[in-house]
């Protein structure tokens, strides 16, 4: 077997690939891992940009894209961004590789689903209909006349059927099945396969992670939230397209740009003073006629004075002291629509270090750049998050 392909985010890799592996990367991983021919060579050039993860190529060769930050910190970022409970937030991990982290999370997922099965899966009423010998629910009179003009011993009814075959459980079976095909230890694969078999009354599905946005939680199914957060993680990582699917658990790739945005948002939400409100992805219009829709990453507002500021998170490579014009233009538009005096760009410090404020000509707006160091140990990372939140909130006037 060929040696694994070891990539690092935002860095080029040069080497040989089989034709089938090159075609798979070019077609199925398009938009995530770039592939070009190296000049004056038969080699290929690969660059994962902001994507990190593990891919098993058609030849069974492994492709691994490692983050620039320690895997244990990536693990903590996932726990905060996805609102995962203990043991994720405080567990001291020594993961050196992403596949080790994935196996731990998959094993934890299996344990949590087993516990939910032991206590009983959530059931809900689904709309059903049928030509029955006894009346159930309500009679569908037009359909009854049509079906039973002669067979009057039956009645066509519409009724609610209490069922396990609902999206809350379908997504669990889908992910258990997906994970059982990954190259984890045999014990973990068997555990996941057994779970897949336990969901015999639940229809196999290919649901998109978007289905989770439409699930309504109540006291009966509220403990599904952490399970569905894990489902979202695995389905987003395994999806081969930016839209719905298909899903293939030969592939797990995390978008560090999206993760960084979610992480910074949760950092601000969890540290906001009582006088401050933090909103993520709040719709905002640039014009009075509501034709240009924008969604800032974060809007921070003082509850009493209604002073606002916009925060935009950018996980991208920067040179020291560099300002990206497109980032500035975007944030100035947010501030203009909000009538906000301050906007903040947040970058990870390992990809750039800029802090100077930028005063916008012809207005009282200022654009501030903040960096967040994701490379330290867990106490240092938490301290950096505290400092980031403090520096952003102090720009507001809430008294």
Q: Is the pLDDT of residue 242 over 50?
A: no
- Is 386 in the same domain as 274? yes
Q: Is residue 84 domain-resident?
A: no
**Residues 183-232: tens digit of each pLDDT:** 788 999 899 998 888 888 888 888 888 888 888 888 888 888 888 988 88
Q: What share of the chain is helix, strand, coil (3-state, %, to 5)?
A: 35, 20, 40
- 343 pLDDT exceeds 80? yes
Do 155 and 176 lie in one domain? The reply is no
What is the DSSP code string of 264-323?
HHHHHHHH--TTEEEEES--EESSTTS-SEE--SEEEEETTT--EEEEEE------TT--
Same domain, 194 and 264: no
Reply yes or no on whether the pLDDT at 354 is more than 60: no
The residue segments making up the domain with residue 138 are 124-163
Q: Which pLDDT belongs to residue 85?
A: 64
Give yes or no: residues 302 and 220 share one domain: no
How many independent structural domains does the chain possess?
Answer: 4
| Angstrom distance (rounded) from CA 315 to CA 325 | 15
**Mean pLDDT of the 280-302 span:** 86
Residue with tokens 């100035």: 332
What pLDDT digit, counting tens, does each position of 159-169 carry? 777 788 888 88
Check residues 38 and 90 and name the one with the higher pLDDT. Answer: 38
318 in Cβ contact with 354 (< 8 Å): yes
pLDDT category at 244 given cuts 50, 70, 90 is very low
Whether the pLDDT of residue 301 is over 70: the answer is: yes
Instruction: State whether 43 and 128 are in the same domain.
Output: no
Read off the pLDDT of each residue in 47-58 and give the average, rounded to a whole number: 90
Pull the structure tokens for residue 314: 């950018």
Q: Are 157 and 140 in contact (CB under 8 A)?
A: yes
**Whether 299 and 171 share a structural domain:** no
Together in a domain, 135 and 279: no
Predicted local confidence at residue 203, as pLDDT: 85
- Place 249 in a pLDDT band, splitting at 50, 70 and 90: low
Check whether the bond before 122 is cis (ω within 30° of 0).
no
Confidence of residue 323 (pLDDT cuts 50, 70, 90): low
Q: What is the mean pLDDT of residues 168-178?
A: 89
Q: With 60 as the cut, is the pLDDT of residue 356 above it?
A: yes
Mean per-residue pLDDT for 32-43?
Answer: 90
């Amino acid at each position: 077997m060929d040696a694994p392909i070891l990539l690092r985010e935002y860095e080029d890799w040069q080497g040989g690939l089989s034709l089938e592996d090159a075609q798979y990367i070019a077609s199925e991983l398009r938009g995530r891992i770039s592939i070009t021919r190296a000049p004056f060579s038969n080699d290929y050039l690969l660059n994962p940009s902001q994507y990190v993860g593990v891919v098993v190529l058609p030849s069974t060769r492994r492709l691994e894209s490692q983050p620039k930050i320690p895997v244990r910190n990536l693990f903590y970022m996932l726990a905060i961004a996805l609102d995962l409970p203990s043991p994720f937030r405080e567990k001291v991990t020594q993961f050196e590789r992403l596949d080790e982290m994935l196996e731990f999370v998959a094993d934890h997922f299996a344990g949590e689903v087993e516990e939910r099965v032991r206590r009983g899966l959530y059931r809900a009423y689904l709309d059903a209909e049928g030509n029955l010998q006894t009346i159930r629910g309500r009679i569908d009179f037009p359909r009854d006349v049509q079906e039973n003009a002669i067979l009057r011993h039956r009645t066509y009814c519409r009724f609610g059927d209490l069922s396990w075959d609902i999206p809350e459980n379908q997504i669990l079976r889908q992910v258990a099945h997906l994970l059982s095909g990954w190259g984890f230890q045999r014990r973990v694969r068997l555990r996941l396969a057994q779970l897949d078999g336990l969901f015999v009354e639940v229809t196999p599905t290919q649901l998109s992670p978007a289905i989770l946005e439409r699930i309504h939680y109540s006291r009966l199914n509220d403990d599904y939230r952490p399970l569905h957060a894990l489902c979202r993680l695995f389905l987003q990582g395994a999806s081969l397209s930016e839209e719905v699917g298909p899903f293939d658990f030969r592939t797990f790739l995390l978008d560090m740009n999206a993760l960084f945005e979610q992480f910074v948002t949760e950092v601000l939400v969890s540290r906001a003073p009582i006088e401050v409100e933090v909103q993520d992805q709040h719709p905002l219009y640039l014009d009075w006629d509501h034709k240009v829709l924008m969604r800032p990453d974060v809007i921070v507002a003082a509850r009493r004075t209604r002073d606002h500021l916009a925060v935009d998170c950018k996980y991208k490579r920067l040179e020291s002291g560099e300002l990206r014009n497109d980032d500035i233009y975007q944030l100035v538009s947010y501030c203009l629509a909000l009538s906000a005096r301050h906007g903040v760009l947040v970058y990870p410090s390992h990809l750039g270090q800029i802090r100077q404020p930028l005063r916008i000509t012809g207005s009282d707006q200022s654009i501030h750049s903040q960096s967040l160091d994701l490379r330290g140990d867990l106490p240092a990372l938490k301290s950096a998050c505290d400092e980031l939140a403090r520096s952003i909130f102090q720009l507001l006037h809430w008294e």
